[in-house]
Structure 1
Amino acid sequence: MDGETPVARRGKRPKSGAPVVDRALSLLAAFDEEHRALGLADLSRRAGVPRSTAVRLAARLREWGALERDERGRYVIGLRLFEIASLAPRSHGLREVALPYLEDLHEVTRQHVLLAVRDGAEALLVERLSTRGAVEIAYRVGGRLPLHDTGVGIVLLSGAPPELLEERFAELSPAEGAKLRRRLADTRRLGVAIFDRRKPAPVSSVAAPIHDHTGTLVAAVSVVVPAGAARPQAYEQVVRATALAISRGMGLRRP
């Protein structure tokens, strides 16, 4: 779009003379939720590479299947990337184990059911089951969620390494930091987090941690319900039970 600053959502603009692979990755990183289809000029600008370089690399990425062209000739992400991404062990193995339990939770609650993992300082949504007519939410599979501002994010943050926690606290005011510390402590103690959001529609999220065979927190599952439709606490037991069942499926042997 006119006047837009060069942006790469994941990663920095490549320096002049950067390796070809860095420039190719910068083209892929130019796409995001708001920019799913890009013309050549936008692709070049957002990736921070010369137009001639964008032409050459985009052609090679199309040959490999990482990029495709839509009916208007714009570049879009290709299915080959979906094929490769589906092999990621942190999402595929987890999703394979979790899906039957997520489906049961969805059947019981008839609400949005989310499964997320932590990727650095963000939560990455790896599965979402929804019911037609359910409350509006902005979450999509493959989308990223803030750790401090979602139910699954709070659960994942409660098991994050100390250095990440300290970075987060440093960004907050003393009062906000104290509130977050209490929320994380309650989440660890209770094994569940309840989080309310106002946008895009008022919702409450009830989330619980999933652990692997070593007891490490590896994911979070949640139910997202309309605010005021039912007390969020009414979902705590079933969400905890789902998280425990998935954890046992991941090899956890302790209660």
Structure 2
Amino acid sequence: MSLGDERETSGGYGGTGQTRTRLPDSGGGDGYGGTRRGGRSSSRSLVTVVGVVVVLIAAIAFANRGGDDASTKTGSTDKPATSPTAATGKTPVKSGFAHDSQGAQSAAANYSVALGSAEMFNADRRHAIVNAVYAPDVASARQSDLDKAYSSEQFLTNIGLNKDGSAPSGQTFVSRIIPVGTKATSANASTATVEVWYTSLFGLSGNGSTNPVSESWYTTTYQLKWIGNDWKVTDFQQKDGPVPVGRDQTASTADDMTKAIEEYGGFTYAR
């Protein structure tokens, strides 16, 4: 599955049911203009647009960690990459996903991170992600659909980006997926169905942003198939929620949000 990684299978089929993700905590904050930000406080139009992006979810975390033959240690102290929204750290495992239920859940969680990242707005990275994540018989069609979506001038304008997909001067584009949990509803030696519950951060950070960074909650169900010693996506469905009740916290200022995005790199491995 990885872009150049060798595989490592583990055992037979065990480990069904819910699993946990290993994700460090990230800070809270206070507001764009001092207003409170609820769990889904962005405009309905933006949520709809974000849905278009996330609905195509199934490949970014993978591209982020692809091609790195670094050690298997997870405690990397590498500084964040130049791009504020890029994942950081060395690849924690040299092999791919295990040929069992847990491996399928790991694949689905990481595909979610990949497909929801800002790298999907770069054609070359998007193509690499799609080819790494999707089954060969659906990758071409999916890539065509994604190219149309991410190159649409109207789409880019609606989310506040320039026609070339870049952020306006003085602003930072944020698009990240944070898996909260996974559940395998079915799994055997050749196929698996995995649900990934996650929250997403999406928007433009910076003074004057018309689409400030907001959070949304979704669950995506992936149909996976074991192909070429790896789990590949054949189809998926997305739905809203479950959405938790928002705490009484003040949203961060634009400057604080931008600083956090620049200082806290994204993850290359979700679980």
Assess same fold via TM > 0.5: no
Q: In proportion to residue count, which structure has more helix?
A: 1
Higher RCO (C-alpha under 8 Å, 6+ residues apart):
2
Task: Give TM-score scaled by structure 1 length.
Answer: 0.29
Task: Give TM-score scaled by structure 2 length.
Answer: 0.28
Q: Flag the structure with larger Rg.
A: 1
